[in-house]
Structure 1
């Protein structure tokens, strides 16, 4: 009997490249489980050993342990002191409250059953015909697909198409009106602007986490394919967020949440990655046309 806690999944995947600060930034190829303990009395070795355990994993979730991919950003990662906690009672910006209220009705939990296995992730409505964008790794082993909306309704869905190379898939629900999310205009996303990650992390539907867009055009390897540019964010992304939207303060989708950086296979450490919405929308449109 599996001991994997429901909603966590079990990351697995190919080799990844991790920056090696102890050797002038030259990348080395390691597996996360091969990172050894730091040598006692040697403070100079900790950056290399720390980074050897940094992986980038897709964040689908399921009781049966869904698949993920390991990769790594091209740029070195450096340590930084934790910021002081915000004072109690700090007001939440009203624009983020409005953005969350605007986007949540179009966000769904995507649940997949195939034989004895189950998996789950997130998705969002992209048009008025019931098409929902999610990650390919969420539905890769699809048997029966259903989505659960913010009102608790469970709706049967069918797979329209998959694109493993971009890690984008589209499913569709018929006979139900779900509000489509607006997409951010191409080229308008800026580093430092507020961002919200919406979805069902650990099976907790309707969850919203806040942060900023911390980098653009970050080269990472997703879907087991070639390197792709991604939107980097510090909004908390966890297993089950896969396929959900990353939205700006206007409630517009800027990316599809796909992966997180982890240490030694742990949870979110505050670095997440989303497929830019321009690419995701282009792939989704192609899948819809062919499907």
Structure 2
């Protein structure tokens, strides 16, 4: 699983700033606190497993980051031919190609062609990866949504949830070096390690955002909005040269 675990705090009123803790980067979200509803789970408490048409675009990623003493593993999704989006913190400090495993078990190799540590977005070029293009679109508070990912490096899992609020969020980049402002969605669903990088699907199959963090205190997750990831998605489709993944993230 990824070595980076952001901690997100909901706070009323104006934005304030908190120093990072040992748990990871602290984000202060400009929202009114709202209640959380846990995503659908099996009787034994584990997330329910299912498959969807759009879920076939979701892949498992395994990277090598020897300088970080880590072997990051997580989720990504193919949004265009030969292009996979995931979080930047998953691939930060990696060396060599990244293993991309499709829902059919087929393995491919991908290389990072776009790395945005501010937004926490990365795009991989995966030669030969065949996947249909995904459409992006906004989502409203109260709408139902579906996350598809690989919790804790396990099986492909579908997690049902709903959108709480859409809000601007101040926080640190993945290196804890500069303050950034991102538009995020508060997602009422159980987001476990390994799920960041997962697409957030609307009921019509369009991508409403990408999960990039979980709340360590509640069964909630945080997603970058479709508008927030649209630019790196577009730039990533034309990028061909391998991008630097810089150093290890906090």
TM-score, length-scaled by structure 2: 0.77
Give unpaired runs (5+ residues) of structure 2. 44-49, 241-250
Q: Which residue of 2 aligns with 1:150?
A: 103
> Hey, what's the Cα distance between the residues in 2 that align with 1:114 and 1:9?
10
> Hey, what's the Cα distance between the residues in 2 that align with 1:12 and 1:228?
14
Q: Deviations over 1:178-226 (max 9, x none)?
A: 2333322xxx411111101111111023111111111112424263441
Alignment length (residue pairs): 225
Q: Based on CA coordinates, which of the two structures has the bigger radius of gyration?
A: 1
Q: Deviations over 1:55-82 (max 9, x none)?
A: xx7xxxxxxxxxx53213223536x698
Q: Which residue of 2 aligns with 1:197?
A: 147
Give unpaired runs (5+ residues) of structure 1. 1-6, 34-56, 58-67, 89-96, 264-268
> Hey, what's the Cα distance between the residues in 2 that align with 1:230 and 1:222?
14
Secondary structure of 1:286's partner?
A: helix
Q: Which residue of 2 aligns with 1:262?
A: 216
1:212 corresponds to 2:180: no
Mapping 1:120-139, distance limit 5 Å: 120-128=73-81, 130-139=82-91
C-alpha spacing 1:82/1:247, structure 2 compared with 1 (3 Å): closer
C-alpha spacing 1:77/1:32, structure 2 compared with 1 (3 Å): farther
Q: Which residue of 1 aligns with 2:58?
A: 107
Would the aligned equivalents of 1:213 and 1:233 in 2 still touch at CA under 8 Å? Answer: yes
Determine which of 220, 233, 241 is the counterpart of 1:284: 233
TM-score, length-scaled by structure 1: 0.67
1:231 corresponds to 2:172: no
Would the aligned equivalents of 2:147 and 2:160 in 1 still touch at CA under 8 Å? Answer: yes
C-alpha spacing 1:70/1:104, structure 2 compared with 1 (3 Å): same
Mapping 1:19-30, distance limit 5 Å: 19=11, 27=16, 29=18
- What CA RMSD, in Å, does the superposition of the two structures yield over aligned residues? 3.2
Looking at both structures, which has the greater relative contact order when contacts are Cα pairs under 8 Å and sequence separation is at least 6? 2
Secondary structure of 1:72's partner?
A: strand
CA shift for structure 1 position 135 = 0.8
> Hey, what's the Cα distance between the residues in 2 that align with 1:177 and 1:26?
43
Would the aligned equivalents of 2:10 and 2:33 in 1 still touch at CA under 8 Å? Answer: no
Structure whose residues are more often helix by fraction: 1
CA shift for structure 1 position 12 = 6.9
